[in-house]
Amino acid sequence: MIPEGNTLEDIRERERIIREFYREWKEKNPSQRKYNLSLKEYINIRMVSIVETSEHAAKSYLSTLAVLQLDAILTGARKVSLKKPKPGNKNQQPFERIMIMEYDLVGIGTVKMTVGVRRRTQEKVQYCITAIGNK
């Protein structure tokens, strides 16, 4: 069961749930990627995906629920904007640009997925997933 509260213990438990979910996901998906229908390209899961998502999504019960729908989000999200990486953000340094993608999840609302585009290789890496609710 996923804790719904906002205590430090609840947040830590949600973070543990997200990290465990990604570990199991990677075992089931050895290629560590899913094809995105909108981009017509693969979106990859890397260590930064797990670190950023677990730290940010764990702060919210709905965001934690959203992460558990990873396959649907990776496959169905649509690009809504493109921006530069945040200056001074160490985890965004490998990326030349950041794509903001959105996906509507029943019962949760709009989910934002941040995808980094690596320099040189142009590899798309899922960076973070959070629920932003109903617009």
Per-residue pLDDT of the chain (135 residues; tens, 9 = 90+): 899 999 999 999 999 999 999 999 999 999 999 999 999 999 999 999 999 999 999 999 999 999 999 999 999 999 999 999 998 888 899 999 999 999 999 989 999 999 999 999 999 999 999 998 654
pTM for the whole structure: 0.93
SS3 88: coil
Per domain, the residue ranges of the chain are: 8-133
Distance (Å, whole) CA 54 – CA 128 = 8
Scanning 29-114, the segments in alpha helix (DSSP H) are: 47-57, 61-67, 70-76
Distance (Å, whole) CA 112 – CA 20 = 21
Calculate ∠ Cα 65-69-72, nearest 5°.
150
pLDDT recorded at residue 98:
97
Helices vs. strands in the chain: H and E counts, helices first: 4, 6
Closest CA to 35 of 62, 73, 64: 73
* C-alpha dihedral sign at 82, 18, 123, 95: positive
Calculate ∠ Cα 68-69-70, nearest 5°.
90
pLDDT recorded at residue 134:
55
pLDDT recorded at residue 133:
65
Helix (H) or strand (E) holding 80: strand 78-83
Tokens of 77: 């999200």
* C-alpha dihedral sign at 39, 84, 23, 132: negative
